[in-house]
Amino acid sequence: MRKEEVVKKVFSESVKIAPSELVQKEFPVVFRGFDRESVKQFLEELSIEYERLLEKNRELVDKLRKLEEQLKEYRSMENTIKHALITSQKFAEKLIDDAQEAAEAIKNEARQEAEKIKQMAQASVEKTRRDSREVERRRMEMIKQFRQIIQGELEFLDRIEKSKDNELE
């Protein structure tokens, strides 16, 4: 039998002899029997002790029931706490997973953005080089044109000078 069943059986059965019955119990008088007053006094003392023990027994039974109820509540609270911990742990794990996914997405987006910026910078550098080469080509062309103009003007001045020399001669 389980402990609970034994306790129930022992404490649920009604008391077969009430304390008052001990005091009121009559015994037949026989020759050479016990002293009636001593027996009566003993039965009264026994009745008082028996009543005290019954009261103590009731208190203990009540205390046991209360403790069993408390134990039930504590077990229920324990299950609730376990469930809450498991739920919290799952939530924390999901939160971590979501954060890691978000971080990975941000890193990927940053890589893509960095690649775009790099490509734009390379394109800009290439365009600047092309523009620089074009500016250099035009500068050289202008220098050439200025030389031709200056050369033409020098030739013109040389002719004027020769023609003045010829006239003076």
| pLDDT over threshold 70, residue 6 | no
| pLDDT over threshold 80, residue 166 | no
Contacts 24+ apart (CB under 8 A), 66-75: 68/4
Q: For 53-92, what is each residue's pLDDT tens digit?
A: 989 999 999 999 999 999 999 999 999 999 999 999 999 9
Distance from C-alpha of 38 to C-alpha of 45, rounded to nearest angstrom: 10
What pLDDT was estimated at residue 38? Answer: 82
Round the average pLDDT of the chain to a whole number and report it.
87
The radius of gyration of the chain's CA atoms, rounded to the nearest angstrom, is: 60
pTM above 0.75, yes or no: no
Distance from C-alpha of 88 to C-alpha of 149, rounded to nearest angstrom: 88
DSSP 103: H
Q: Are 59 and 91 in contact (CB under 8 A)?
A: no
| pLDDT over threshold 90, residue 31 | no
115 residue type, one letter: E
Q: For 102-119, what is each residue's pLDDT tens digit?
A: 999 999 999 999 999 999
